[in-house]
Structure 1
């Protein structure tokens, strides 16, 4: 069984994915999963579900939504993750490999450790699995409550870091050329993220598309100059010079 929130909130057992029918329950599943294994006070959950003006029946409504979510989890897997009531609030109690958020973070950490040890092939496999857990934005299709927005911001940053780590380790292994389309899209979405640009230059060069790689570098120079008034880092400039020399040779 898996609890999914890196995309539309859902639960999955085998190949069957089930989405909570009601919007409030989907939001509740999302916030519980983002903060899996941490107690969320009732007042905190009320703020998440009704950020502006909670109804007088908010506490009772939360308990009804929790009961519906418990039924869904129990129907999918009676021995799987569950919602536990503690003295400090409500907890989605689940093993780290059951919730995609915690599984992603564990795989990212493991991939980085493997890379630091020089085990690039194993690191690439680990990071590929981590990136592959993302089916879309966190809590896709549901509004992200302000109370979990910092957590979501951290996850979004970790996803980009995972993609950058994966691109670099696959470049080291000589097999990053198939990342070009994804990286080309990401530099449009995140134009000030220089590491993505550097990965794209490297991937294009590895694919033998050196003229395109040099053009991408010059685009980066213009973006950084116009937006931040800075030049590319030494690492990016060194890559550019290596690609330029290689084309000339």
Structure 2
């Protein structure tokens, strides 16, 4: 492997040396790729601090939705995004199964309760779009409930945006083979095994049905005012860089 002066500089940096020493068998090509990722991620995380400062100082509100198939890397991306920003001025929302009381409410009500206050960023690790894909695929809602949601969601998002809120919708996309590989990795790791749910266990079996509902969701809800951005997520490092770059490019912070 031929190294440029810039490559050598990166490998001699703190990130580069850490990546070289991570494995007993030195792989300079892999170490260089990951060191470049570390460097780029740190640059973007620094910019995200600036964005958050602008949000706080100008009482702006930001909602960032992370959707995608199970094991697509949504949670890992959120952890990188929130690693250095002010913890008092952001929230990560990952709602559990609705309570009996919530099931009797207007569907969007439980999400309205978690929308950002002025000067705050909210990251939704899955969102109201559960009803567009996960719930109908797994028979967690009726066809009537699904259709009602699809007829209301665009108007709901317009109302959110009209309250001076930035809304960004990210969809992390992986292949069926990549999902299967990640599930096997999680199952074999005792520290990660808790992540596997009954819904995850059926994801491969229901792959085509998920695809059908996902495409319906894009067709109806990929609107001019609230478009979807598809993040290719087979490589987690590239997905994180791509998603964070998109956020920084979309919100006009100073």
> The TM-score by the shorter chain falls in which range?
under 0.3
Q: Which has the larger radius of gyration?
A: 1
TM-score (norm 2): 0.24
Q: Which structure exhibits the higher relative contact order, with contacts defined as CA atoms closer than 8 Å and separated by 6 or more residues?
A: 2
In proportion to residue count, which structure has more helix?
1
In proportion to residue count, which structure has more strand?
2
TM-score (norm 1): 0.24
